[in-house]
């Protein structure tokens, strides 16, 4: 009987029957497509927003850490920096030198700000490139964030005089700088930054000597921020960098009494395993994703189940005529495929659009 009904072209007959059933159930198909679209939108927006949220958290961690850089080497000398900077393990390295942590101007007691020199890479890592003006070049040029300028009662205008009273190695200095650039203070920053030129640092090299191991004075200390060539196991790469240049740090078993000891750490923004180290958060995430998947599956499954029940009499007639269970299954699956080919692309498009609009807002 099966051979009489389907002959040698049962695939074509199944295709024709599927089309007939599909066209005969327009209202049901519309409901099914809407369900598929809404479920696809649900999946797309949740996973897109989840990915965007992870990127946002990572970006905020970078801002809280003070900028880019997978690892930081603090309170080092120029000699140590030069020893490390040439390593092939390093992709990019930022150089900063502290001028003064003790600014005595009225207004800075409410908003702490420090005086530094930063090279171009450091300005980029810290997100300090001036949005107005240019980086300091002349000895008397300076840039600052807007909140620091406000604390100093200096208008955020190029050419304004910034008169600073600051302390270096226990001695007070007063210098009039010319504002050549500024940027908006990051809302996550709890302190400000004034940045002088390399010409200023070179002209005052006699007072900006490295004496930190002797008197713990920050003036003259260098901090370096490193981006490695690879992204795997940042701490292992940091240890390799230090060991290859004959230095050590806390996590390598080093001691502050060692002459080759440096203060080095992996940036919190690049410390891996935060989710894996928090079992409660990991389990909650897995349960949340599983619930979303099961919910979407049940919605679409129930709609197709209703469709099959509505057509159960027709399928029974086909079975009486000799149609096999496998052929009926193919007929139903073909209809489901057509509905999915219509609903899923629409849901993906709408879902990505909604997630994009949400991220932009």
Burial of 125 (0-12, 13-18, 19+ CB in 10 A): buried
Do 174 and 232 lie in one domain? The reply is yes
CA–CA separation, 108 and 115 (whole Å): 12
Inside any domain, residue 271: no
Question: What's the confidence (pLDDT) of residue 25?
Answer: 64
**Cα Rg of the chain (Å, integer):** 33
Inside any domain, residue 9: yes
Do 20 and 102 lie in one domain? The reply is no
Least-confidence region, from 30-39, 260-269, 296-305: 296-305
Of 266, 294, 329, the residue at which a domain comes to its end is: 266
Do 247 and 140 lie in one domain? The reply is yes
Instruction: Look up the domain containing 99 and give its range.
Output: 71-266
Do 83 and 119 lie in one domain? The reply is yes
Our count of domains for the chain comes to 2
Q: Is the pLDDT of residue 271 over 50?
A: yes
Residues above pLDDT 90, as percent of the chain = 40
Mean pLDDT of 162-168: 96
Tell me if the pTM is above 0.75. Answer: no
Inside any domain, residue 21: yes
Do 26 and 142 lie in one domain? The reply is no
Question: What's the confidence (pLDDT) of residue 24?
Answer: 56
Question: What's the confidence (pLDDT) of residue 65?
Answer: 57
Do 317 and 349 lie in one domain? The reply is yes
Do 351 and 292 lie in one domain? The reply is yes
Residue 8: band (very low, low, confident or very high) from pLDDT cuts 50, 70, 90: very low
CA–CA separation, 225 and 126 (whole Å): 10
Residues above pLDDT 70, as percent of the chain = 78
Half-sphere exposure of 129 toward its Cβ, with a 13 Å CA cutoff? 4
Inside any domain, residue 239: yes
**Tokens encoding 237:** 């790469």
At 101-114, the pLDDT tens digits run 999 999 998 899 99
Report whether 229 contacts 80 (CB < 8 A): no
Question: What's the confidence (pLDDT) of residue 78?
Answer: 94
Do 251 and 297 lie in one domain? The reply is no
Mean pLDDT of 59-69: 66
CA–CA separation, 75 and 210 (whole Å): 9
Question: What's the confidence (pLDDT) of residue 317?
Answer: 63
**Tokens encoding 36:** 């598929």
Inside any domain, residue 65: no
Report whether 83 contacts 262 (CB < 8 A): no
Question: What's the confidence (pLDDT) of residue 315?
Answer: 63
Question: What's the confidence (pLDDT) of residue 7?
Answer: 44
Contacts of 280 by beta carbon, 8 Å cutoff, 6+ apart: none
Residues in the chain: 361
Report whether 77 contacts 270 (CB < 8 A): no
Inside any domain, residue 62: no
Average pLDDT of the chain is 81
Of 266, 301, 332, the residue at which a domain comes to its end is: 266
Do 169 and 309 lie in one domain? The reply is no
At 233-253, the pLDDT tens digits run 888 999 999 999 989 888 786
Report whether 98 contacts 221 (CB < 8 A): yes
CA–CA separation, 251 and 235 (whole Å): 9
Residue 60: band (very low, low, confident or very high) from pLDDT cuts 50, 70, 90: low
Inside any domain, residue 355: yes
CA–CA separation, 162 and 359 (whole Å): 39
CA–CA separation, 283 and 277 (whole Å): 11
Q: Is the pLDDT of residue 98 over 90?
A: yes
Do 18 and 131 lie in one domain? The reply is no
Do 160 and 95 lie in one domain? The reply is yes
Q: Is the pLDDT of residue 261 over 50?
A: yes
Inside any domain, residue 66: no
CA–CA separation, 357 and 360 (whole Å): 5
Do 326 and 237 lie in one domain? The reply is no
Burial of 100 (0-12, 13-18, 19+ CB in 10 A): buried
At 167-202, the pLDDT tens digits run 999 999 999 999 999 999 987 778 899 999 999 999
Of 208, 241, 266, the residue at which a domain comes to its end is: 266
């Amino acid at each position: 009987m099966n051979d009489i009904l389907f002959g040698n072209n049962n695939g074509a007959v199944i295709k024709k029957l599927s089309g007939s059933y599909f066209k005969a159930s327009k209202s049901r198909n519309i409901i099914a497509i809407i369900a598929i679209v809404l479920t696809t939108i649900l999946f797309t927006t949740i996973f897109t927003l989840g990915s965007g949220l992870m990127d946002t958290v990572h970006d905020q961690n970078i801002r809280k850490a003070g900028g880019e850089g997978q690892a930081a080497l603090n309170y080092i000398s120029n000699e140590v920096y030069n020893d490390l900077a040439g390593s092939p393990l390093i992709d990019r390295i930022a150089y900063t030198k502290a001028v003064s942590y003790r600014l005595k101007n009225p207004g800075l007691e409410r908003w702490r700000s420090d005086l530094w020199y930063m090279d171009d890479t450091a300005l980029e890592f810290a997100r300090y490139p001036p949005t107005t003006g240019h980086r300091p070049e002349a000895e008397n040029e300076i840039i600052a964030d807007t909140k620091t300028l406000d604390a100093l009662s200096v208008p955020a205008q190029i050419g304004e005089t910034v008169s600073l009273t600051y302390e270096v190695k226990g001695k007070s200095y007063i210098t009039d700088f010319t504002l050549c650039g500024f940027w908006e203070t990051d809302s996550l920053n709890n302190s400000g930054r004034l940045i002088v030129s390399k010409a200023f640092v070179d002209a005052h090299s006699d007072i900006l000597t490295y004496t930190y191991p002797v008197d713990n004075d920050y003036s003259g200390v260098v901090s370096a921020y490193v981006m490695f060539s690879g992204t795997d196991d940042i701490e292992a790469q940091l240890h390799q960098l230090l060991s290859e240049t004959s230095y050590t740090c806390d996590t390598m078993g080093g001691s502050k009494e060692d002459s080759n000891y440096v203060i080095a750490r992996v940036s919190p923004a690049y410390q891996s395993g935060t989710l894996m180290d928090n079992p409660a958060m990991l389990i909650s995430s897995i349960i949340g994703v599983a619930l979303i998947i099961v919910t979407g599956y049940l919605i679409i499954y129930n709609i197709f189940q209703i469709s099959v029940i509505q057509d159960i009499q027709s399928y029974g007639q086909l079975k009486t005529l000799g149609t096999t269970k496998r052929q009926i299954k193919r007929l139903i699956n073909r209809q489901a495929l057509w509905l999915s080919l219509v609903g899923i692309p629409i849901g993906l498009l709408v879902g990505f659009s909604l997630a994009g609009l949400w991220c932009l807002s």
